[in-house]
Amino acid sequence: MLTIQIAGNTGLENYVAALALYEARSVLSLDPGCEPGCEGLLLPGGGDIDPSFYHRENRGSRNVDRCLDERQFALLERYRSAGKPVLGICRGHQVINTFFGGDLVQDLPTADRHKQKNGVDAIHPTAAEQGSFLAALYGPKFTTNSSHHQGIGVVGKGLVVVQRADDGVVEGIRHEAYPIFGVQWHPERMTGALRNPDTVDGGALFRYFLSLAAVHRSDR
């Protein structure tokens, strides 16, 4: 069975449940020392990144936790160095972009189209780049959920945009050299018991991630 480190400690039940659907065990920890026993890293959703990490003043960032940022960056570096796959979801997608030198728009002009309303995810159409892994999984155009008010501005070094919303917001990225990729949406709320009939099945993305992690299976 594959073991995936989820970069956090609490409130991550949906991620654990989604991975379990595809027969993967989760370790919830911010300790880089877990890496040798894990085949991949999942950077989950959460609050905003401290803007000082991308050399900006706070102009709308919320629920900032600099300590969490530092620990997730350290984890990302550990897995990058090991050549193991990393999946970033929502905040995690933004962590990846910031780690590689990109920046964020701290409050999107079209944020109302992307934020939850009354605790319910927004839904919107997106387009995947031709030839990308997302196009292979879901086709050139597909619908996702949405629950964020920030988005990628300058794209980090080595990263490629592979998906955008219809208003231009970056919804998917991948690294050119490493098995590192991120999505601005929440596939863990699009699969299993939380499957949304108005979106594609998030399970396809988890299966893709785990297929990359299987290369590093410690019990092979």
Active site includes 90? Answer: yes
How many CB atoms neighbour CB 181 within 10 A?
25
The token duo for 24 is 């993967």
Q: What is the CA radius of gyration of the chain?
A: 16
pLDDT tops 90 at residue 175? yes
Instruction: Report the C-alpha gap between 78 and 36 in whole angstroms.
Output: 10
Every domain of the chain and the residues it spans: 2-216
Catalytic residue among 38, 39, 90, 93: 90
Please name the residue ranges forming H helices in 9-87.
Answer: 13-21, 66-82
CA distances from 182 to 36, 122, 219 (A): 22, 19, 27
Instruction: Report the C-alpha gap between 16 and 14 in whole angstroms.
Output: 5
Q: What is the DSSP string of 180-192?
A: EEEESS-GGGSSG
Active site includes 129? Answer: no
Residue 116's pLDDT is 95
Instruction: Report the C-alpha gap between 175 and 161 in whole angstroms.
Output: 9
- State the greatest distance between any 2 C-alpha atoms of the chain, in Å, as a whole number: 48
Torsion of CA 76, 81, 84, 87, to 10 degrees: 20
- Give the SS3 label for residue 138: helix
Active site includes 55? Answer: no
With 0.95 as the threshold, say if the pTM is over it. yes
pLDDT tops 90 at residue 149? yes
Helix 66-82 and helix 91-99, axial crossing angle in degrees, nearest 10: 70
Read off φ and ψ for residue 189, nearest 5 degrees.
-105, 20
Catalytic residue among 35, 39, 171, 188: 188
Query: Using one digit for the tens of pLDDT, what is the confidence trace for 11-70?
Result: 999 999 999 999 999 999 999 999 999 999 999 999 999 999 999 999 999 999 999 999
Instruction: Report the C-alpha gap between 89 and 96 in whole angstroms.
Output: 10
- Give the SS3 label for residue 102: coil
Banded model confidence at residue 217, pLDDT cuts 50, 70, 90: confident
The token duo for 154 is 């300058």
pLDDT tops 60 at residue 138? yes
Banded model confidence at residue 220, pLDDT cuts 50, 70, 90: very low
**Which fold is adopted by the domain 2-216?**
Rossmann fold (3.40.50)
Query: Using one digit for the tens of pLDDT, what is the confidence trace for 94-123?
Result: 999 999 999 999 999 999 999 999 999 999
Are 188 and 179 spatial neighbours (Cβ–Cβ below 8 Å)? Answer: no
Distance of CA 203 to the CA centre of its chain: 14
Name 217's bridge partners.
none
